[in-house]
Structure 1
């Protein structure tokens, strides 16, 4: 029976590797970066609405506005929560009851699908005006100039 005794010479052994291979780490990080770059734009718009195009410049905002969206089926959403036509006046009255930091009513961003009838948008704007929410901005898609 042969037995291996540790001697000063280790012919068959390799020296321990003192380097770390970072290539797999870089590969994983690049894949995660791509995943976040693809999913980040999808998180911004809550209700999918096909906005009309405009060449207007964006507005400067101090506080977060209330988002009201009307999709192509005519469903109204207040801050991404669906609201029926019967419950819309009460929901808008609750929004008007919470004033902004400057004491004024909150800013309203109204997003409506471009295929929607003019009457539906005007009914929502009439309810906004009735409860005293007069700071309304109609959102559009920016066009290339």
Structure 2
């Protein structure tokens, strides 16, 4: 009888090829690096510099009122799709409505460093007259 050759299996490679995973990770990194500057939308405001600590917004989103260098008022214009210019009375009404729903809500003013100091103080005083007990000012850190 003729002896047939035995077939043998090739040894299986038990190592994981991580090159495709690295490629995917680098593509995701590039995508995040390109989209991050787009995420910060809103009114262009040059904030004054100050050495302050950061505020934690994990509980709820605060009401942020921006004043641009032309003295126009905007509310929550950092994350909004299209900023809407409002009068001080309408801003106070919106803040009061949010305070009824969120009594511990924080209110901050982002004033451009070129805007008159009196305009920021007048807005803060108007908000306090209309029921907002605490109003903070947003600045940029020196770091």
What TM-score do you get using the length of structure 2 for normalisation? 0.68
Q: Does 1:89 align with 2:89?
A: yes
Q: Check the 8 A contact 1:110/1:136 in 2, yes or no.
A: yes
Shift of 1:26: 5.9
Distance 1:94 1:84 in 2: 10
Which residue pairs with 1:99 in the alignment? 99
SS in 2 for 1:49: coil
User: Where does 1:1-145 land on structure 2 (aligned, <5 Å)?
Assistant: 30-61=26-57, 62-80=59-77, 81-85=83-87, 88-99=88-99, 103-104=103-104, 106-144=105-143
Larger Rg: 1 or 2? 1
SS in 2 for 1:98: helix
Query: Structure 1: any 5+ residue segments left out of the alignment?
Result: 1-21
Flag the 1:100–1:107 CA change in 2: closer, same or farther, 3 A.
farther
Shift of 1:91: 2.9
Distance 2:21 2:52 in 1: 45
Distance 1:118 1:72 in 2: 11
Q: Deviations over 1:64-86 (max 9, x none)?
A: 1011111112111011233343x
Query: Structure 2: any 5+ residue segments left out of the alignment?
Result: 1-17, 78-82
Q: Check the 8 A contact 2:128/2:134 in 1, yes or no.
A: no
What TM-score do you get using the length of structure 1 for normalisation? 0.68
Count of equivalent residues: 126
What is the root-mean-square deviation in Å for CA atoms of aligned residues? 3.0
